[in-house]
């Protein structure tokens, strides 16, 4: 096996773990665990989420070994389900379950695509998702129940469409914002705001139904407008966090997609904005924004 190829995919995996950590530490995030509080998740803590990051790292490392050994994709799917069980056994809750699936899918797609090109990655993701859902019986979960109850596509539709919330929403939103404001924090919250408006978040639907999803989308519009106007957006975020905590409202799918965006941007050398302009992904016609996770 080509050693340079292994090193390349290991760097991509490290970027995905870093992306999850960057999402966790971004503060304040309405209804989500961050450096200040646990939001609408009394069963979680910063320390527990940090332990979950180590499980993600171990999972992706095992996935790379499977890829290097030439094992089939379904073997890697088994590794993913085992990682979900380890997470549940060790932490007593689902923490990063959605991110395990998404990061694994993107990592394996990166291996097969052979580059960071968004179009090729999106095609590889869609192909692998079709293979996965064709033979794997969907596990019982809150997301599965929500998709049945509300007719939502969630993470299934998102992956089958090639991760449009990543490639057509989050990444362009971040790159546009970092160019305009030149500030990582503002660009990050601008990306969060765009994802709040577009992701079909099944954790939101599970907690608060369609009214909760509509609330998050309205708040995403308000947050993006506040940032675009150059106003101080931190008080708004703090107020939203208080309201979401009171309502038991959260947005785990949005958080997963933001972490995935950080990971991809880091791996592709695009996190700093201007310095990575020559390597930016070209516009995608394959993906539609707002397909959701």
What does the pLDDT look like over 34-48, one tens digit per residue? 999 999 999 999 999
pTM: 0.91
- Domain assignment present for residue 285? The answer is no
- Domain assignment present for residue 288? The answer is no
- Domain assignment present for residue 290? The answer is no
Domain hosting residue 68, numbered range: 3-279
Confidence of residue 247 (pLDDT cuts 50, 70, 90): very high
Q: Is 25 exposed, middle or buried (0-12, 13-18, 19+ CB in 10 A)?
A: middle
Altogether, the residues listed in the chain come to a count of 293
Q: At 195, which helix (H) or strand (E)? A: helix 184-198
Confidence of residue 66 (pLDDT cuts 50, 70, 90): very high
Is the confidence at residue 288, as pLDDT, over 60? no
pLDDT of residue 292: 44
pLDDT of residue 2: 82
CA distances from 4 to 1, 10, 18, 65, 76 (A): 9, 10, 21, 14, 21
- Domain assignment present for residue 220? The answer is yes
- Domain assignment present for residue 286? The answer is no
pLDDT of residue 154: 80
- Domain assignment present for residue 289? The answer is no
Cβ atoms of 287 and 164 within 8 Å: the answer is yes
Mean pLDDT for 138-157 is: 64
- Domain assignment present for residue 181? The answer is yes
pLDDT of residue 3: 87
- Domain assignment present for residue 292? The answer is no
Q: What percent of the chain has pLDDT over 90?
A: 82
Is the confidence at residue 260, as pLDDT, over 80? yes
Q: Compute the distance between CA of residue 148 and CA of residue 32 in angstroms, rounded to an integer.
A: 25
Number of folded domains that form the chain:
1
Is the confidence at residue 233, as pLDDT, over 50? yes
Q: Compute the distance between CA of residue 100 and CA of residue 66 in angstroms, rounded to an integer.
A: 16
Confidence of residue 188 (pLDDT cuts 50, 70, 90): very high
Mean pLDDT for 260-278 is: 83
């Amino acid at each position: 096996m080509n050693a340079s190829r292994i090193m390349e995919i290991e760097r991509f995996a490290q970027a995905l773990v870093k992306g999850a950590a960057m999402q966790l530490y971004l503060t304040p995030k309405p209804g989500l665990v961050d450096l200040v509080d646990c939001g609408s998740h009394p069963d979680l803590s910063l320390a527990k989420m940090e332990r979950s990051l180590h499980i993600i790292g171990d999972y992706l490392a095992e996935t790379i070994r499977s890829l290097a050994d030439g094992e089939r994709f379904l073997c890697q799917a088994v590794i993913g389900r085992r990682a979900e069980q380890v997470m549940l056994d060790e932490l007593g809750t689902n923490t990063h379950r959605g991110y395990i699936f998404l990061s694994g899918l993107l990592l394996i797609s990166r291996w097969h695509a052979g580059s960071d090109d968004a179009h090729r990655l999106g095609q590889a993701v869609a192909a692998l998702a079709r293979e996965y859902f064709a033979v794997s019986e969907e596990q019982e979960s809150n997301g599965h129940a929500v998709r049945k109850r509300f007719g939502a596509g969630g993470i299934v539709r998102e992956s089958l469409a090639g991760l449009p919330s990543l490639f057509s929403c989050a990444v362009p939103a971040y790159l546009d914002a970092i160019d305009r404001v030149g500030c990582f924090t503002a660009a990050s919250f601008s990306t969060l705001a765009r994802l709040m408006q577009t992701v079909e978040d099944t954790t939101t639907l599970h907690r608060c139904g369609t009214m909760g999803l509509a609330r998050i989308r309205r708040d995403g519009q308000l947050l993006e407008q506040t940032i675009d106007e150059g106003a101080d957006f931190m008080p708004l975020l703090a107020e939203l966090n208080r309201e979401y905590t009171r309502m038991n409202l959260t947005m785990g799918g949005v958080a997963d997609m933001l972490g995935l965006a950080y990971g991809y941007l880091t791996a592709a050398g695009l996190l700093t904005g201007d310095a990575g302009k020559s390597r930016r992904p070209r516009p995608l016609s394959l993906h539609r924004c707002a397909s959701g996770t």
